[in-house]
Amino acid sequence: MQPEDLNGYWEITSVTLEDGTERDYTVNAVVDFIELNGSNGTRSKVKPQFDGSFIKNSATEEFSLEQGDEFILAYKTPYDAWEEEILELSSDKMRVKNRDGKVFTYKTFTPFSLKTK
């Protein structure tokens, strides 16, 4: 796992609950944009547009990346603090486990565009 692989746009593909139940996501109106700078970063929800651009909403969460035997994303907002364990990370796939034991699987999001040249 390379921390810099966190950078970019991530689209959720599935969520697996602690009991093994899985929910697949085939279409997503919103994707996550993660930007890591050193050991600190932000995660924002963005809405892809048909022209290849994104609309960012006001939900941006700051996190710190803690590295040891595992990679941990430690989030803190004025309202809450929580952690997610990175189970798998590559340039095209990410799996994280949250505090409720849910495992979220993401793939790299490829922007689309209906613009013509």
Q: Where are the domains of the chain?
A: 3-108
pLDDT-based confidence at residue 99 (cuts at 50, 70, 90): very high
Residues 3-108, CATH architecture: Beta Barrel (2.40)
Q: Please give, one letter per residue, the 3-state secondary structure of 71-102.
A: EEEEEECCCCEEEEEEEEECCCEEEEECCCCC
Nearest-angstrom CA–CA distance, 109 and 46: 11
pLDDT at 61 over 60: yes
Radius of gyration of the chain (CA): 15
Mean pLDDT, rounded, for 59-82: 89
